[in-house]
Amino acid sequence: MSSDDTGAPATPTEPEPIRFGQRLQILRERRGMTREVLAGLVGKSTETIRAIEKGRHKAPGLDMVLALAEALRVRDLTDLVGTHTGRPAVGLFAGPGHARLPEVRDAINSLSLTTRHEAPPAAHLQARLGRAWSARHSSPDHREVIGRLLPDLIRDAQLAVRQAEAAVDRRAAQAVLSEVYSLSQFFIAYQADAAELLWRVAERGMVAAQEAEDPHAIGVAAWLAAQAHRDSGPGHYDAADAVTLEVLQYLEPLLPDATTPVLAIAGALRFEAGYTAARRGDTGTAWAYWDQARTVADRLPADYYHPATSFSRAIMGAHATTVAVELHAGGEAARQAVRAEAAVIPSRPRRARHRIEQARAWQLDGQPDVALATLAQAHEAAPETIRYNGYARKILLEETESTVAARRERAARLAVKIGLLS
């Protein structure tokens, strides 16, 4: 997902494993130990340790692994070797599975056809959904918070659809269910082994939105679907554009008299079109859509903040940073990063995501120390955002191989803090 947490939810493609050598270097740097010292402790040459860390030497045998673990005082051996389950336990663009993922998965897959529980009214569910969005935006551990709320919310929303008798009540329940599925995607996104579940929820959300005939729910479902397509790789950019542009065409006649949420989702979709263009390297189209999105944002109340997409006046600077970063324009990305103040973004996970985009800008502009400092700010805003963000992980891995000792140690400490080795 490019937008959360764009974060926004995304489907990871080919996760890159954390190599044994990279793990070794992170752990060594965390202890402030030089290669020379480590080599002496395990009876190897400095060049051998260097070769292992750089991947030029095959991973050592068990005796040497245990010697390295002892020298580095590693408490959990999997920190050094990872886990061996046939695939990497941690990849750059797929974070660890959250402890609450099984509960959320069970709720999504549940049919509850024999339950005697009476579903809450749609208005009650809508109020709970609103509180869940607020909790997500205000919490540093936002996945944990919404992971606790989602199972009951999903089951009750599903039940409301099944028990609705009148057509108007069924449409209202479908609209709520669609947006509950949208919230679910923010929890599921970037978790290892959850790609299939993410797509299932995305498709169900779009079906429910269309059944509801609700423009706002359709727009949110399309916004998330477009991100999932785009983040599946360049071969899916056309699919992302198809979803975005078709729903924009559907919304266009409604905009003169649209509610604020519908207007906001139309603006968010315009930015998504620009985001995809930036991924393609189409500079003119990317900035043209950003300009269109800004025009929509200017029509919103100054203090308005869309709960699902974060679209608002406050977010446009962050969006400009993202466009420049995706276009790999280092100087422009750095200029936009300076202009876009993260403090104006009220959502903690979205603020952390913007800090990560700023860090990408500094990295592109050849300022790695500023990038690391900005990642530390992202961690302070919302640790669960940076823990699941592939771009942040990539920067940290790169800087653990820096030729500057202080930078390596700083990157290693933050890598351990966000759980990169877990």
Res 59 pLDDT > 80: no
pLDDT in tens, 77-122: 778 887 643 333 334 455 668 999 999 999 999 887 777 889 999 9
Q: How many CA atoms lie within 13 A of 413 on its CB side?
A: 13
Predicted pLDDT at 321: 97
Predicted pLDDT at 4: 55
Is 348 inside a domain boundary?
A: yes
Predicted pLDDT at 83: 62
Is 358 inside a domain boundary?
A: yes
**Can you give 239-251 as a three-state secondary structure string?**
HHHHHHHHHHHHH
Predicted pLDDT at 375: 97
| Mean pLDDT for all residues in the chain | 89
Predicted pLDDT at 1: 55
Query: How far is 373 from 144, CA to CA, in rounded Å?
Result: 25
Predicted pLDDT at 91: 44
Residue (of 332, 287, 5, 283) closest to 136 by Cα position: 5
pLDDT in tens, 313-339: 999 999 999 999 999 999 999 999 999
pLDDT in tens, 233-270: 888 899 999 999 999 999 999 999 999 999 999 999 99
Predicted pLDDT at 298: 97
Place of tokens 């006046």: 313
What's the number of domains the chain is made of?
A: 1
Query: How far is 188 from 158, CA to CA, in rounded Å?
Result: 18
Is 399 inside a domain boundary?
A: yes
Radius of gyration over alpha carbons of the chain, in Å? 23
Is 330 inside a domain boundary?
A: yes
Q: Are 3 and 244 in contact (CB under 8 A)?
A: no
Residue 394 belongs to domain spanning: 317-422
End-to-end CA distance of the chain: 22
Q: Are 345 and 318 in contact (CB under 8 A)?
A: yes
Is 382 inside a domain boundary?
A: yes
Is 332 inside a domain boundary?
A: yes
Query: How far is 254 from 383, CA to CA, in rounded Å?
Result: 39
Q: How many CA atoms lie within 13 A of 51 on its CB side?
A: 10
Res 420 pLDDT > 90: no
Is 250 inside a domain boundary?
A: no
DSSP letter for 58, please: P
Is 119 inside a domain boundary?
A: no
Query: Could you tell me the two tokens for 178?
Result: 């669609």
Predicted pLDDT at 17: 63
369: domain CATH number is 1.25.40
Q: Are 101 and 19 in contact (CB under 8 A)?
A: no
Evaluate the CA torsion angle 178, 180, 186, 192 in order and state its sign. Answer: negative
pLDDT in tens, 21-34: 999 999 888 888 88
Q: Are 354 and 381 in contact (CB under 8 A)?
A: no
Q: What percent of the chain has pLDDT over 70?
A: 92
Res 304 pLDDT > 70: yes
Query: How far is 96 from 28, CA to CA, in rounded Å?
Result: 23
